[in-house]
Structure 1
């Protein structure tokens, strides 16, 4: 069910983007070159696209709320903070020792390294 609602939600989002981009800019702004054409012109096109935009926006909000309700039901009423406080504490070593000789930051001595000559198998 959640996958179906999510698919419808994504299709509505794409359709809403398309319908908004099809609308004619009223204020000039970025759409200054508005040319027209098509079967519908003038106010009829603006009114029809406006209605379609409202319908798609309402459907988008409904699917958003539905997805929120479905996600809340899956959560099971537990909080992330509840999981953190219930977990046993991990004990860390008191004095961590670095690899190498004695835990210092110097590289290992030359005699401790492997020979660089290849061996025959």
Structure 2
């Protein structure tokens, strides 16, 4: 069900973008396009594209709220931090040198060859 609503949501978004781009520029808010003819009159008559824009916008908001409800139900009160910790894994032992951090799962230390670059140490 969530996938169906998501697909409808994406189609509504694309349709809304298309309908808004097809409309005539009336305000000239950036100083381009339109013209001053409609600025003198009070409210212009609602066109068919204007009504379609309102319908698509309302449907877009409804699908947005529906997807939010689905996401809230799927979260089930769990946190991302809860998913990161593995409760079945035993606690790691402390490292041999307490001043160094535990390096479990990280890269091994470099070998001590003569051609290897110098590695800074904690002194």
The reply to whether TM is greater than 0.5 is yes
* Unmatched 5+ stretches in structure 1: 35-42, 102-107, 111-121
Relative CO higher for 1 or 2, CA cutoff 8 Å, sep ≥ 6? 1
* Unmatched 5+ stretches in structure 2: 35-43, 98-102, 116-123
Confirm or deny that 1:99 pairs with 2:99.
no
Contact 1:24 1:31 in 2 (8 A): no
| Structure 1 segment 20-31 matched on structure 2, within 5 A | 20-29=20-29
CA RMSD of aligned residues (A): 2.9
Residue of structure 1 equivalent to 2:58: 58
Q: TM-score, normalised by structure 2?
A: 0.60
Q: How many residues are matched?
A: 95
CA distance in 1, matches of 2:4, 2:31: 36
The alpha-carbon distance between structure 1 residues 82 and 98, as it changes in their structure 2 partners (threshold 3 A), is: closer
Structure with the higher fraction of residues in helix conformation: 1
The alpha-carbon distance between structure 1 residues 8 and 92, as it changes in their structure 2 partners (threshold 3 A), is: farther
CA distance in 2, matches of 1:92, 1:53: 63
CA distance in 2, matches of 1:31, 1:53: 23
Counterpart selection for 1:109 from 94, 97, 114: 114
Report which of the two structures shows the higher radius of gyration computed on alpha carbons. 1
Q: Shift in Å at residue 62 of structure 1?
A: 0.5
Q: Shift in Å at residue 49 of structure 1?
A: 1.2
Contact 2:25 2:33 in 1 (8 A): no
CA distance in 2, matches of 1:73, 1:55: 27
Q: TM-score, normalised by structure 1?
A: 0.61
What SS does the corresponding residue of 1:25 show, helix, strand or coil? Answer: coil
